[in-house]
Amino acid sequence: MAHPVQWFIWTVYPYLMLGSFIFGTIIRFAFYPASVTAKSSELLEKRRLMRGSIFFHVGIIMVFFGHIVGIFIPKVWTDALGIPNEVYHMFALVAGGLGGLAALIGMLILTYRRFSDVRVHMTSTLSDLIVNVSLLIIIILGLSATFIVSATQPEFNYRENLSIWGRQLFYFRPNYLLMLNVPLLFKAHVFFGLAIFGFFPYTRLVHAFALPIRYIKRRYLVYRKRPQL
């Protein structure tokens, strides 16, 4: 039985979003390099910014590498190493849960700051507000998919369908049928996660690629106190 909508979502839509991510980022850096650096609101409010940023960045890095392992390490590899499936999932739940919780705490702080602090809110663009809310939704969906599905559908193993589909994207042969029986929370997390990639180049998120490499070779700036007259 054909599933045209499902086919489009899990075969065409990912490449539309990834294509937007790649080419949009290239165009942004090539033609609009001055717009890459995100506007800093540190002078307006610093305490919540620092706390939220630390929690979010540490958590999102843990989550990122967790997703890499979950997608690119096939089940047959861990089976060959003698790692039981239960042990793998327990480790994934603990590590992913800690990373996701840290990212959630950080995003809650940053979102509250952006919407509640009058000066920060007034200097925020519509894109800034949408990005904050979108990241918050995606993190909540990810944590919900991890813990709710694990509790209500313990027989579901994302490594037998979702991870395989994810790897297939990279050699351009995604089998959308693998996604048909994936729980809705996982589908929503993947769908909105791909959307973030698609809109990434057109938001402040693109500054993640603007690594200040030049500062490594830059001479130290020396500040001298003005002498008292």
Is 189 within a domain? Answer: yes
- Whole-structure pTM value: 0.85
Please give the residue that has the higher pLDDT: either 47 or 182: 182
pLDDT tens column, 76-87: 888 888 888 888
Is 224 within a domain? Answer: no
Is 82 within a domain? Answer: yes
Is 226 within a domain? Answer: no
Mean pLDDT to the nearest integer, 66-90: 87
- Residue identified by tokens 């001298």 is 224
Residue 84, φ and ψ in degrees, nearest 5: -60, 150
Domain count, the chain: 1
Using the predicted structure, report yes or no on whether residue 25 has a pLDDT greater than 90.
Answer: yes
In this prediction, residue 227 carries a pLDDT of 66
In this prediction, residue 217 carries a pLDDT of 61
CATH number, residue 168? 1.20.950.20
Phi-psi region of 172 (alpha: psi -120 to 50; beta: other; left: phi over 0): left
Is 228 within a domain? Answer: no
Is 81 within a domain? Answer: yes
Is 118 within a domain? Answer: yes
Is 40 within a domain? Answer: yes
Neighbours of 223 (CB within 10 A): 5
Confidence band, pLDDT 50/70/90 cuts, at residue 204: confident
Segments forming the whole domain that contains residue 27 = 4-217
